[in-house]
Structure 1
Amino acid sequence: MANTRTEQENMESLRSVSKYRWGFNAGINIHYKWSHLHMIREMLCQVNELENFKRTCFGHVMDVKADKSLFCFSFMHYLMLRRINKPDATEVELWFAIGKTKARFSKREFCLVTGLKFGPLSTFIVNPFEALPRGIRLRYWGLRKEVKIQQVLDTFKEGQFQQEGDGSKMALILIATNSLVENMDEWYAFPWGTYVWSLTVDYLPRGFEPPTAGEADKKHYHFYGFI
């Protein structure tokens, strides 16, 4: 009994959020609309590009059912409440206390779930972005200095693609919010696992902040990345 009590006390000392602060209401804003998956899938089917898209590293998301229950808010909230600060943990992994078990979420688990490739990012971020003379950006949005994701979405919904493969490229932009589709060789070589994982592991702990003394009981926080 004494050992069990000591283990519980040790686990409590590692918690990022003490159990005494768990009693608050929270709302999570997920900065990705999974409802767009159905629209993307339907459009790619119409222009016969769905199979080509499925051969990309993000192709498996087309098999995900776009359902309101896809993201479980309560599970994510309860999981983040149970986050612990493990002394020997690295900066790129998260640990949680699930019952009496310590569970790790690192790039290894992320890779197993997503199948995305890891590697150094430095070779891909040295040169600034340049729109290719015959690339998709100039073809649809001209010389605009900035193209917002909503503009890409609106163009995609119209379905008036000028070249074969443009539908798949726009779908990749909508899912990955990245302009590497100008050069598909670079797209396939890009370490998407490293990129998306870094966003996820950065925003998960940053977004979760329980209310401090004097704040309202209702708390909203935001999650970005591959949630």
Structure 2
Amino acid sequence: MRSKAIHKSFLLGLKGEYRSKQSGKFTIIPIKILIFFILTPPKIFLSTLAIKQLLRPKHPSLISPPTLPFTHLSQTDPTPIIGGDINPRRRRLHLSPASDLQPSTKPRYMAKSESPDIEVGKMYFSYADHFPGRISSMCKLSSVIKAIEEKLTKRQLTMFKNDIFGHFLECRSFPFSGVILHNLLLRQVAHEEDSREDQLWFQIGEHLIRLSIVEWCLVTGLSFGVDTNQKNDEMEQRLRNTYFGGVHRKINVKEFDAIFKELKFEEMDDMDDMDALKIALFYFADRVLNARKNHCQINFDWLDQVDDIQYFRKRSWDLLSWEMIYESFDNALFEKDEKFKKTRLKNPDHNIEKYNLYGFTSGVQAWIYEAIGGLPSIWVVKTKNKIPRILQLKPMASSRINFAEVYSFFNDESRLGDVLQTLKPNSKESSRKYWLSVKDYLPSIPG
């Protein structure tokens, strides 16, 4: 089963991202062909995303990208200058079991990466079609960390700190910046078809940068476990019956926030401290890694599975969280440019497009800060050389970050520092379990 098909279910509640069902078949309308102002073809062709073959010389001339947002954008599409070949082929990623995912009854639009109309190496949106956006992130990393620290006893918190998600306790202040992520998404680049399920590519200035499960692992420190052990079904639904009103009670994400804060963790004895740990691990996984709208039901399968804590610890949290991020980001701006234009024709005062992002968006934000050098200190400050890399970063309050400033910075080669097309493990990371788990599972890692 293709992982992409499986993960459509993660996009629950995405209004405007689906077509209605007609005559028993889903009607899919392909993306409109983008119109480019083609000038003299460049001498250097974009070969990085194709596998050892040159692309057709249909790119515009190399010119400087625009420095002003929306109304003053250039009508041309600069081609990034990159060197060397990268082989993006590697083993396809699949999720197991499918029961992890909450099924959706709605079909979605065809993803941008499935569109046949965009040439490999081109941005999905020309600079002339860029538009301002406002993102709501469903990921509540800082608030979840705060709730866990406030509710667990000292002993329970120590147990959590030493477990699979414990390092994220250092991310208690990690404000989300929709401005930065929207600017990134505007620059998504079409890439080679066989690798599209595994990678996202973006153009920053004259550079291309890749987000794949390799980068995801190095930034988040989540392990790429392989689910070989069967869950102990003898403990099925015990936590639900003991703490959450039984198997027939429906609990959505927002309701679980309140329930978690009402649990009396301090009254649990030594034996029940393990239950406190299990509930906190589930809470983090479902509210941060599996982040979605408040009205969605919690993942009851995960709540049952965490009672077999050894099984839960060995789950492929790197893969599970990465696949959700891939789905969310690859679909985030699909047809949003057309929607923005049509709405503005009807309402000239419409000046921003609003949309949601799902999954562990803080991990993507941390990757941006790692991949793009020279970022202003009012956006992010890099602290001590810690691992995983998300722990090195101290993002600033999003209110201090201006859309036009970010837009200009991402297009200004004179201000950009070192831009890392891919991330590679350093000597310290190379020996860590989370990296070895990815390396062992993916013997041919692109880089």
TM tier, smaller: 0.7 to 0.9
TM-score by length of 1: 0.83
Match of 2:278 in 1: 169
How big is each residue's C-alpha offset from its partner over 1:26-70, in whole Å with a ceiling of 9 and x where there is no partner? Answer: 1111112232321211222x3521111012221111111335xx2
What amino acid does structure 2 have at the position aligned with 1:28?
A: I
Larger Rg: 2
Which of the numbers 99, 103, 108 marks the counterpart of 2:205? 99
- 2:289 aligned with 1:155: no
- Farther-moved stretch of structure 1 (136-145 vs 10-19): 10-19
- Farther-moved stretch of structure 1 (70-79 vs 133-142): 133-142
Q: How does 1:74-89 map to 2 (within 5 A)?
A: 74-87=179-192, 89=195
Offset, 1:117: 1.6
Q: 1:144 to 1:131 in 2, by over 3 A?
A: farther
What amino acid does structure 2 have at the position aligned with 1:211?
A: D
Q: 1:57 to 1:66 in 2, by over 3 A?
A: same
Q: 1:133 to 1:25 in 2, by over 3 A?
A: closer
Offset, 1:19: 0.5
Match of 1:215 in 2: 343
Offset, 1:11: 2.6
Match of 2:320 in 1: 195
Q: How does 1:27-38 map to 2 (within 5 A)?
A: 27-33=134-140, 34-38=142-146
Structure of higher RCO (CA pairs closer than 8 Å, 6+ residues apart): 1
- 2:267 aligned with 1:141: no
What amino acid does structure 2 have at the position aligned with 1:221?
A: Y
Aligned residues: 220
Q: Secondary structure at the match of 2:136?
A: strand
TM-score by length of 2: 0.45
Unmatched 5+ residue regions in structure 2?
Answer: 1-39, 45-59, 64-76, 81-118, 287-301, 345-350, 362-447
Offset, 1:133: 6.1
Contact map agreement 1:15 1:82 (CA 8 A) in 2: yes
Contact map agreement 1:132 1:138 (CA 8 A) in 2: no
- 2:192 aligned with 1:58: no
Offset, 1:150: 3.5
Q: 1:7 to 1:25 in 2, by over 3 A?
A: closer
CA distance in 1, matches of 2:330, 2:234: 35
Contact map agreement 1:40 1:171 (CA 8 A) in 2: yes
- Farther-moved stretch of structure 1 (139-148 vs 172-181): 139-148
Match of 1:11 in 2: 79
CA distance in 2, matches of 1:203, 1:83: 13
Unmatched 5+ residue regions in structure 1?
Answer: none
Match of 2:108 in 1: none
Cα RMSD over matched residues? 2.9
Q: 1:26 to 1:48 in 2, by over 3 A?
A: same
What amino acid does structure 2 have at the position aligned with 1:6?
A: S
Offset, 1:134: 7.7
Q: How does 1:97-136 map to 2 (within 5 A)?
A: 97-120=203-226, 132=235, 135-136=238-239
Q: Secondary structure at the match of 2:306?
A: helix
CA distance in 2, matches of 1:6, 1:136: 62
Offset, 1:105: 0.5
Offset, 1:120: 4.9
CA distance in 2, matches of 1:164, 1:158: 16
Q: Secondary structure at the match of 2:202?
A: strand
Contact map agreement 1:156 1:167 (CA 8 A) in 2: no
CA distance in 1, matches of 2:133, 2:160: 37
**Identity of aligned pairs, percent?**
25
CA distance in 2, matches of 1:131, 1:224: 33
What amino acid does structure 2 have at the position aligned with 1:214?
A: K
Which of the numbers 154, 168, 176 marks the counterpart of 1:71? 176
Q: 1:66 to 1:167 in 2, by over 3 A?
A: farther
- Farther-moved stretch of structure 1 (110-119 vs 10-19): 10-19
Q: 1:221 to 1:133 in 2, by over 3 A?
A: closer
How big is each residue's C-alpha offset from its partner over 1:138-166, in whole Å with a ceiling of 9 and x where there is no partner? Answer: 11123232333344333321241342122
